Amino acid sequence: MSYFDGFFDIPSDLQHSWLGLIGLHLREALLPVLAGLVIALPLGQLCVRLKWLYPPVLWVTTVLYAIPSLAFFVVLIDYTGMTELTVMIPLTVYSLVVLVPAIVDAVRSVPQETLAAATAMGFGPVRRYVQVQLPIAVPAIIAGLRVAVASSISLVSVGTLIGNQGALGNLLHDANIYNRPELAWNSVLTSAALAVVVDALLVGLRTLLTPWMPRARARRPRPEAVPAALEDAVR
Amino acid sequence: MNVLHYINAFFDNDANWSGYAGIPARLWEHVQYSLEALALATVIGLPIGLVTGHYGRGGNALAFVATAARALPTFGLLVLATMILGFGMLPVMIPLVVLAVPPILVTTYEAMRSVDPAPVDAARGMGMRETDILFRVELPVALALILGGIRSAAIQIVSTATIAAYVGLGGLGRFIIDGLYQHDYEKVVGGATLVAFMALATLGLFWAVARLAVSPGVRRSA
Contact residues, A window 146-205, toward B, CB-based 8 Å cutoff: 146-147, 150-151, 153-155, 157-158, 160-162, 168-169, 172, 175-176, 181, 184-185, 187-188, 191-196, 199
Contact A231/B at CB under 8 A: yes
CATH class of segment(s) B3-9+23-214? mainly alpha
| Rounded Cα gap, residues B4 and B8, in angstroms | 6
- Residue B113's alpha-carbon distances to A139, A164, B108, B130, B138, in angstroms, are 19, 44, 9, 15, 9
Confidence check on the interface: ipTM exceeds 0.85, yes or no? no
Residue in chain B lying closest to A184 (CA): B80
Q: Is B198 within 8 Å of B158 (Cβ atoms)? A: yes
Task: Say yes or no: A217 contacts chain B, CB-CB below 8 A.
Answer: yes
Asked if the C-beta of B107 comes within 8 angstroms of chain A's C-beta atoms, the answer is yes
pLDDT value at B70 more than 70:
yes
Q: What length does chain A have?
A: 235
What gap in Å lies between CA A14 and CA B111, rounded to an integer?
A: 45
pLDDT given for residue A221 in this prediction: 46
Residue A227: is its pLDDT beyond 60?
A: no
Does B163 lie at the interface with A, CB-CB under 8 angstroms?
yes
Q: Is the pLDDT of residue A214 over 90?
A: no
Nearest by CB to B70, which of A65, A150, A184?
A150
- Per-residue pLDDT at A6 exceeds 50: yes
Least Cα separation, residue A157 to chain B (angstroms)? 7
Among the partner-chain residues A63, A146, A175, the one whose CB lies closest to the CB of B196 is A63
Cα dihedral angle (A42, A47, A49, A51), rounded to 10 degrees? 170
Q: What percent of chain B has pLDDT over 70?
A: 98
Sequence spans of domains, chain B? 3-9+23-214
Structure confidence at residue A216 (pLDDT): 54
Identify the helix (H) or strand (E) that includes residue B217.
none
Could you tell me which of A151, A130, A129 has the C-alpha nearest to residue A195? A151
pTM recorded for the entire structure:
0.85
Distance from CA of B9 to the nearest CA of A (A): 15
Q: Express each pLDDT in B25-46 by its tens digit.
A: 999 999 999 999 999 999 999 9
Q: Give counts: helices (H), strands (E), chain A.
A: 10, 0
Quickly state the pLDDT bin for A226 (edges 50, 70, 90).
Answer: very low
3-state secondary structure of A121: coil
| Nearest residue, CB atoms, B159 vs list A66, A147, A191 | A66
- Of B159, B36, B161, B52, the residue nearest B105 (C-alpha): B52
Asked if residue A231 has pLDDT above 70, the reply is no
CA separation for the pair B100, B149 (Å, rounded): 9
> Looking at beta carbons, which residues of chain A come within 8 Å of B203?
62, 235
What dihedral do alpha carbons A67, A193, A25, B78 form, nearest 10°? -40
pLDDT at B187 over 60: yes
Which B-chain residues 4-43 have CB contacts (< 8 A) with chain A? none
Q: Which residue type does A219 have?
A: R
- Tens of pLDDT, residues A19-51: 889 999 999 999 999 999 999 999 998 998 888
Residues 59-98 of A with CB under 8 A from B: 62-63, 65-72, 74-75, 78
Contact status of B100 with chain A (Cβ, < 8 Å): no
Task: Give the separation between CA B194 and CA B23, rounded to whole angstroms.
Answer: 9
Question: Testing the interface with A: which of B57, B75, B218 to mutate, by most A Cβ within 10 A?
Answer: B75
Superfamily per CATH, domain A18-213:
MetI-like (1.10.3720.10)
Round to whole Å and give the CA distance between B213 and B217.
12
| Nearest C-alpha neighbor of A70 from the set A57, A84, A83, A87 | A87
Residue A1 has pLDDT above 70, yes or no: no
Domain boundaries defined on chain A:
18-213
Cross-chain residue pair B2–A78, CB shorter than 8 Å: yes
Chain-chain contact of B149 with A227 (C-beta, under 8 angstroms): no
Instruction: Taking each helix axis as running N to C, give the angle between helix A181-209 and helix A18-49, from 0 to 180 degrees, rounded to the nearest 10.
Output: 40
Please give the single-letter amino acid code of residue A119: T
What distance in Å separates the CA atoms of residue B113 and residue B100, rounded to the nearest whole number?
A: 21
Lowest mean pLDDT among A140-144, A229-233, B191-195: A229-233
- Strand, helix or coil for residue B89: coil
Q: Which residues of B96-110 are buried (b: 16+ CB within 10 A; e: fewer)?
A: bbbbbbbbbbbbbbb
Cα B101 to Cα B65: distance, rounded to the nearest angstrom? 10
The secondary structure element, H or E, covering residue B123 is: helix B117-125
